[in-house]
């Protein structure tokens, strides 16, 4: 599957390839020509043409008239390519444009997720709390679960572990119970719940959750996310005081990252080497 996506990517025009890479950096929402134009710093008419080119190559799926979404495997590849091929300053500028665009809007879900992507955890939690209240009142089930998951992530990173656990515990089963079960959503919720349990100093529970997420990512052929799961397992082993297990998990993560390849391989290898230094 990955080779097929990479072949289609190689057939793109340079501008379309760049837009795809930049789309991999932002939260996984539907995107229209306006948001794509801001992200890539292009006129909306040009962005519309590029979105159509990406859809014609089946690298985007059209969700509504004029709006598009990256399928999961394409998003994974786009993010890796952006980290590899886009200079850090270019990535930072694109994210800043996207954030400024959302902040200039109406305080909607896109703004909250932009704050989350920028690691502004407390601000993101406040904005997502408002959006969750609105979604519960009239949103669809999948959107409500996604907002709840994003809020849980923000709370874990801002240190409010108890509230994060309350929000995240029901989510894996809830994603699985949707009429069209969301396996990726379930895996992401399991991972975030595991991180919350790490924050609560409960590494054994976290290991079980990371293992379940890893099993899903294997069936989804999501190689980089498998590497992420092993890094989380290494974090749990570290908390348990088990350097052998930590090293083994990091070694497997490096192998997976290198096979993609992902720039995470070098960072993870440095951490692995530090264990024996």
Residue 106: pLDDT above 50? no
Residue 4: pLDDT above 50? yes
C-alpha dist (Å) from residue 243 to 20, 177, 230, 233, 255: 39, 38, 14, 12, 18
Range of the domain at 1: 1-86
Task: Calculate the average pLDDT of the chain.
Answer: 87
Residue 205 pLDDT grade (very low, low, confident, very high; cuts 50, 70, 90): very high
Asked if residue 175 is part of any domain, the answer here is: no
Question: What predicted TM-score, i.e. pTM, was given to this entire model?
Answer: 0.69
Which pLDDT belongs to residue 102? Answer: 57
Q: How large is the average pLDDT for residues 145-164? A: 93
Which range in 35-49, 68-82, 84-98, 201-215 is most confidently predicted, on average pLDDT?
201-215
Question: Which of 40, 58, 86 is the C-terminal boundary of a domain?
Answer: 86
Which pLDDT belongs to residue 108? Answer: 56
- Can you give the CATH number for the domain in which 50 is found? 1.10.10.10
Residue 107: pLDDT above 50? no
C-alpha dist (Å) from residue 225 to 6, 34, 39, 143, 151: 18, 30, 25, 22, 21
Q: Which two tokens stand for residue 269?
A: 């290898």
Torsion, CA 209, CA 212, CA 217, CA 220, rounded to 10: -140
Q: How large is the average pLDDT for residues 152-161? A: 93
Asked if residue 231 is part of any domain, the answer here is: yes
Residue 248 pLDDT grade (very low, low, confident, very high; cuts 50, 70, 90): very high
**Count of structural domains, the chain:** 2
Residue 111: pLDDT above 60? yes
| Lowest mean pLDDT segment, chosen from 12-16, 78-82, 103-107 | 103-107
Higher pLDDT, 234 or 129: 234
What is the rounded CA–CA span in Å between residue 227 and residue 215? Answer: 12
Asked if residue 116 is part of any domain, the answer here is: no
Residue 250: pLDDT above 80? yes
Asked if residue 20 is part of any domain, the answer here is: yes
| Lowest mean pLDDT segment, chosen from 45-49, 111-115, 187-191 | 111-115
Radius of gyration of the chain (CA): 19
Q: Which two tokens stand for residue 123?
A: 């601000």
What is the rounded CA–CA span in Å between residue 274 and residue 277? Answer: 5
Asked if residue 251 is part of any domain, the answer here is: yes
Residue 6's contacts (CB-CB under 8 Å, 6 or more residues apart) are: 77
Question: Which of 66, 86, 106 is the C-terminal boundary of a domain?
Answer: 86
What is the rounded CA–CA span in Å between residue 128 and residue 148? Answer: 8
Which pLDDT belongs to residue 235? Answer: 97
Asked if residue 97 is part of any domain, the answer here is: no
**Maximum Cα interatomic distance, the chain, rounded to a whole number of Å:** 56
Which pLDDT belongs to residue 136? Answer: 78
Asked if residue 193 is part of any domain, the answer here is: no
Question: Which of 34, 69, 86 is the C-terminal boundary of a domain?
Answer: 86
What is the rounded CA–CA span in Å between residue 107 and residue 225? Answer: 30
Asked if residue 57 is part of any domain, the answer here is: yes
Residue 138: pLDDT above 90? no
Q: How large is the average pLDDT for residues 63-90? A: 83
């Amino acid at each position: 599957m990955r080779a097929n996506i990479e072949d289609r990517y190689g057939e793109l025009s340079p501008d379309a390839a760049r837009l795809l890479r930049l789309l991999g950096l932002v939260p996984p929402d539907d995107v229209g020509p306006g948001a794509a134009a801001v992200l890539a710093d292009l006129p909306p008419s040009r962005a519309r043409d590029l979105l159509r080119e990406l859809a014609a190559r089946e690298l985007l799926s059209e969700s509504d008239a004029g709006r598009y979404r990256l399928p999961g495997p394409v998003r994974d590849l786009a993010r890796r390519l952006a980290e590899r091929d886009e200079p850090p300053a270019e990535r930072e500028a694109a994210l800043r444009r996207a954030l400024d665009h959302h902040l200039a809007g109406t305080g909607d879900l896109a703004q909250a997720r932009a704050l989350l992507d920028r690691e502004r955890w407390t601000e993101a939690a406040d904005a997502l709390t408002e959006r969750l209240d609105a979604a519960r009142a009239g949103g669809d089930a999948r959107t409500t679960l996604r907002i709840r998951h994003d809020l849980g992530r923000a709370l874990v990173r801002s240190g409010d572990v108890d509230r994060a656990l309350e929000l995240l515990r029901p989510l894996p089963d809830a994603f699985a119970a949707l009429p069209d079960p969301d396996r990726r959503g379930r895996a992401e919720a399991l991972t975030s719940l595991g991180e919350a349990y790490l924050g609560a100093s409960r590494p054994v529970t976290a290991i079980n959750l990371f293992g379940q997420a890893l099993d899903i990512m294997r069936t989804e052929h999501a190689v980089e996310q498998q590497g992420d799961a092993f890094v989380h397992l290494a974090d749990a082993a570290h908390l348990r005081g088990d350097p052998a297990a930590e090293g083994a998990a990091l070694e497997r993560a490096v192998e997976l990252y290198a096979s993609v390849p992902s720039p995470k391989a070098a960072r993870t290898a440095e951490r692995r080497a530090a264990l024996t230094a």
